[in-house]
Structure 1
Amino acid sequence: MGSAHENLHSERGPLRGEHPGRSRDPVIKVVDLAWLEFEKTDLDRAETFALDFGFAVARRTRDALYLRGTLPGTHCLVIRKGPGSRFVGPAFLAATPGDLSRLARATGSDVRELGDPGGGRVVELRDPSGFPVRVVHGVAELPPMSGQRPVPMNVGDARPRINATQRPAREPARVQRLGHVVLETRWFERALGWYLDTLGMIVSDFLFLDGQRDRGPTMAFVRCDRGGVPADHHTLAMHLGPGVGYVHSAYQVADLDAVAAGGEYLAGRGYRRVWGIGRHIQGSQIFDYWRDPDRLMVEHFADGDLFDCTVEPGWAPMSAGGLAQWGPPVTRDFLGTNPSPELLRTVFTALREDNEIDAARLLGLMKAMRA
């Protein structure tokens, strides 16, 4: 089994009896991540950052901001005015209207009309971590917009650029689409099972703690199962931790030049880089992470892996040093290990509750983040 992963996406596959990474009989199979929903106290400030980061405004109302990328599809972010700044939850795309009906019957929910721009219908659920999860169908597709083209590269004997220079503009990287969202949960095994069994998602890669592989994985990179049609290496990633909440979300841009020039633009506007530029191992994306004005983390990425349903999960040890093939050392800000009273309260709460965090798991996570 291990040879199937050599030089592919992990140095090893599962051991006998380990998690298969997919459900035998899921209720439905979602086909993509439609959008993410947030609340913000200041929509004007949120719009300013969105434009600097490279989104386009699909629609703005008194109480909501709808953001999109340049590729055709639904809006990719909904930001509603609220009393605080927080992540609300994800919305996934169902393949057919029948899938919504089947999902509603299986979960004891209703199919109702969406009241947002674009229309469509929705089933509203809640995952085991407490995140509201919407599954939608029939939302009107936005037409494509003009965007940045990947710059032509002279590589080896392939040299298409003749009598022409490279001068990428220092401007916002034009977001093409939403790629993925990463969540932290104290109920990792239960939450993972829910997404596999209910939404039909499948695991691309598992990470486990050193010396604790027999206790199961502590992180999963999860993709949509489109059969023979390739999907992003991960549409959702989840990891076990003392907290429960949003970690970051990622948005595709044209290429490395768009990532780099867009980053220079953000730095010039006074925003703070979290970590980057580098290339990940699981997923292979070129990445660059930033904080928005409310300290929520967002990522520009380019050149991510695409897998069809035939690729089995890879298994690898979890470590801070195993997050990138190249790039600067990972930061404490990215890992969420900056010491603070809030972090200590979160840890104490997790250890007191009935969840999947215990002293051994917590020490293993701390060791992994130093490795």
Structure 2
Amino acid sequence: MIAKRDVAVIGGGPAGLTTALALAMQGASVRVFEQAETLGDIGAGLQISPNGGRALAALGLTDALDRISLPSEAVVPTNGVTGRTVTRFDLTGQVPRYRFVARPDLIAMLAEACRARGVELCLGTRADDPRADLVVGADGIKSQVRARLNGADAPAFSGQVAWRAVVQAEAPPQARIWMMPGRHVVTYPLPGNRLNIVAVQERNDWAAEGWHHADTPQAMRDAFADACPALHDILWAVEVPLLWGLFRHPVAARWHDASHVLVGDAAHPTLPFLAQGANLALEDAVVLARCVARHGIAAGLPRYQALRAPRVTRAIAAADANAVNYHLSGVRQRAAHLGLAALGRMAPGAFINRLDWLYGYDPAG
């Protein structure tokens, strides 16, 4: 019921390209409008969890993803001050595998698949309100389509800022969470012997949203001056960290009208403490395409929101909880770390089982 209908997608990031591909595979005539002159020239690493992997599998991209990414073996919570490993949660039993990928590589893979399906990529083109049977707002946290549907948004500063960086380094195939009082760092490898770094600090002042605010390496080093030697070596290798303030945005109350719909961060921005921003966007794309293919645009759009809103709300709440748990100090930190260690010894599958509602989801239905 979407076949041969004209679709305009605003935004050429993972959300927009995946949605364009999913709709093109249902027979729609799709154009993607991206105001940047090139695709995928910003950003660092992404974690594709099994739910996101299933979304890409539904689009026939499993082999392509395998070629550009690394499989993860574990999540390793670590005391960032002492360097002591708290526990290790094995991920090797996950199907599909949890994977690490560079954002530009993911975008290049999606763009190639889009072109193969006849999607027109309009780069260096701003499209505020294109003419189409369906307009998809995949234009991120500052979405103009979201503003059209919901009015102005007033995000709230979370009290945390984050630095992103990539350095040349060899590392085991695992995500390590370096937990410290009021701070944490997440590191994981990327293809090409690179290490992705996200370092978060609680503070009262804030940095502007976005990825394009270069900070001095010394500012980040000062924030983690008491890091253990292993983490110290990683952070001191960073030459140009990018800093941004972390803001909480409400899940959009209204995701669609008769001819416009939101996907990804435009609908449901999330803090990066569950590594689900990209994965939820990949899910959105597959579910949206499925809904409009089965029910048409008029009935499919409300069906899409009804299916997605409860799930993304739960995921955002889980990410918010991690923002607290990673930053504990004193007695609370010791108790939490002892609990994690006991969980890892006595019930090694409990970590994954607890997240089965998230990782076990199949957006293809």
| TM-score higher than 0.5 | no
Give the TM-score, by structure 2 length. Answer: 0.26
User: Which structure dedicates a bigger proportion of its chain to strand?
Assistant: 1
Higher relative contact order (CA 8 A, sep 6+): 2
User: Which structure dedicates a bigger proportion of its chain to helix?
Assistant: 2
Give the TM-score, by structure 1 length. Answer: 0.26
